[in-house]
Amino acid sequence: MTEQVVLQVEDDEANYFIFRELFEEICPGIQLQRAQNGVEAIAMIRSLAEDPSMRLALVILDVFLPLMNGWEVLASIRAVESLKKIPVVMFTGQILDRDRKRSEELDVEYLQKPSDLRSLTLLVREICARLELSLA
């Protein structure tokens, strides 16, 4: 059986742990993995894409990352034919008009990190509902 994986690329440990707790509670059938920077993210995406026991269902990609920013990671993913179709959500604490336009041009969703637990819970519920629909 293929295991469904969501990769969260997040350098802030506290943000990741809160997200992970919610994700485990709301989407227990989907494995959440973490990369802490852009270079690690690319290596993990390639590894997950090559593993027949895994299906990379979504990449939640922070825009501001060490070593490589989220846009550079996205460009690297999209440059590889076998990785182009992996859904990506750009996830940031700071919404910028230029980045919103860029996300539209690159056909990726651009979401602001919620500042409170209730909003984050709603966002995780929405993500999980979408994943369940795409898996059906």
Domain assignments of the chain as residue spans, ordered by start: 3-135
- Strand (E) or helix (H) holding 64: none
79 Cβ partners below 8 Å, 6+ apart?
A: none
Res. 136: pLDDT tops 70? no
Identify each DSSP E strand in 10-52 by its residue range: 31-35
Confirm or reject CATH 3.40.50.620 for domain 3-135, answering yes or no. Answer: no
Q: What is the mean pLDDT of residues 70-90?
A: 93
Check: CB of residue 39 under 8 Å from CB of residue 68. yes
pLDDT band at 135 (very low <50, low <70, confident <90, very high): low
pLDDT at 134 (0 to 100): 61
pLDDT band at 88 (very low <50, low <70, confident <90, very high): very high
Among the listed residues 66, 63, 67, 61, the one whose alpha carbon sits nearest the alpha carbon of residue 96: 63
As to burial, measured by CB atoms within 10 angstroms (0-12 exposed, 13-18 middle, 19+ buried), residue 120 is middle
pLDDT band at 113 (very low <50, low <70, confident <90, very high): confident
